[in-house]
Chain A
């Protein structure tokens, strides 16, 4: 990762996302300030021509001098607000659609068939799941 460029641009490159159709960098400073000042980072990647948007929202807390993601919601959404796939850490589900206990409660994914599945809680894993739905 040493030669990676920072920020969402790199997120897109590493995940083979199409280039977002907005100017992300100029709004990034505000987002960073919001995360630093109030502990929440909301980011939105938009592809109007593909009719899709990718929403990331993370809330941070300091525990024992380390930064943790306290709460998050990741979603790939069609314009018009229909979620294609999404993941979050709200403790609403204990079991997946097979009635098996989630392997990493409370993290879970709502797949393209609206089924609840186990999920790692890692943004990178969500991106890898989202990429095939974007093009």
Chain B
């Protein structure tokens, strides 16, 4: 395996400075990452996330690492939809 490049260690001050100076979050990229993660789970288990969430989340079948992660990832996805398409936002978009 090729050796991967490592970043130099950061001091606490450098880390905080980097976090505090960060630019506007690239939400599109974050959403893309989440969708890719959901897609990977769907391909691995040959199941749509909606089906998984409806029939497995909250049952004893959920009790394995992938399913717990999948469930959390899907909740995140739902939260994005609530944020992006809340009634307030839709009304604001319609009314300008």
- List chain A positions with a Cβ less than 8 A from chain B: 4-7, 9, 19, 21-26, 29-30, 32-34, 36-40, 42, 48-49, 55, 57, 59, 71, 73, 75, 77, 81, 83, 86, 88, 90, 92-93
Interface residues of B: mostly helix, strand, loop or mixed? helix
Q: What is the bound-complex CA distance between A32 and B19, given in angstroms? A: 8
Query: Are B69 and A55 touching (Cβ within 8 A)?
Result: yes
Q: What is the bound-complex CA distance between A49 and B83, given in angstroms? A: 41
Known: A48-B1, A83-B64, A88-B68. A6 touches B76 (CB 8 A): no
- List chain B positions with a Cβ less than 8 A from chain A: 1, 4-7, 9-12, 15-16, 18-19, 22, 25-27, 29-30, 33-34, 37, 60, 62-66, 68-69, 72-73, 75-76, 79-80, 83
Query: Are A33 and B30 touching (Cβ within 8 A)?
Result: yes
Known: A22-B4, A30-B30. A6 touches B15 (CB 8 A): yes
Query: Are A73 and B63 touching (Cβ within 8 A)?
Result: no
- B90 to chain A minimum Cβ distance, whole angstroms, is 20
Q: What is the bound-complex CA distance between A48 and B1, given in angstroms? A: 9
Ordered by A's residue number, 27 sampled pairs between the chains whose C-beta atoms are within 8 Å are: A5-B15, A7-B15, A19-B6, A21-B4, A23-B7, A25-B10, A29-B18, A29-B22, A30-B29, A32-B19, A33-B30, A34-B30, A37-B25, A37-B30, A38-B30, A38-B80, A40-B73, A40-B75, A42-B73, A55-B65, A57-B69, A71-B72, A73-B68, A73-B72, A75-B65, A77-B65, A83-B64
